[in-house]
């Protein structure tokens, strides 16, 4: 299995997140539950990113897997 991240989506995922809840961001792009990890990275060098948010609300989570602000979208998909 390749150790290159797959572009899951060329734009962000808009998701509702809850303050203090633990989330696992998919870094490999293989998960069927994007933008969250489902274990599909097994057999690669990828590990998911554990994160929480400091307030409940709607967040733009990176779909292209190239952001410099993981797990949040920073607009990098616009230059891919």
Q: How far apart are CA 28 and CA 45, in angstroms?
A: 9
- Mean pLDDT, residues 18-29 taken together: 98
Number of domains in the chain: 1
Q: Which domain holds residue 22?
A: 1-80
Q: pLDDT class for 3, splitting at 50, 70, 90?
A: confident
| Coil, helix or strand at residue 18 | coil
- Mean pLDDT, residues 50-66 taken together: 98
- Global pTM? 0.93
The 10 Å CB-count burial string (b at 16+, else e) for 8-44 is beeebbeeebeeeeebbbbbbbbbeebbbbeebbeee
């Amino acid at each position: 299995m390749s150790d290159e991240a797959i572009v899951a989506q060329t734009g962000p995922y808009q998701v509702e997140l809850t303050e203090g809840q633990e989330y696992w961001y998919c870094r490999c792009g293989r998960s069927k539950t994007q933008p969250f990890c489902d274990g599909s990275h097994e057999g690669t060098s990828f590990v998911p990113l554990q994160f929480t948010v400091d307030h409940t609300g709607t967040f733009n989570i990176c779909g292209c897997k190239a952001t410099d602000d993981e797990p949040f979208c920073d607009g990098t998909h616009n230059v891919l």
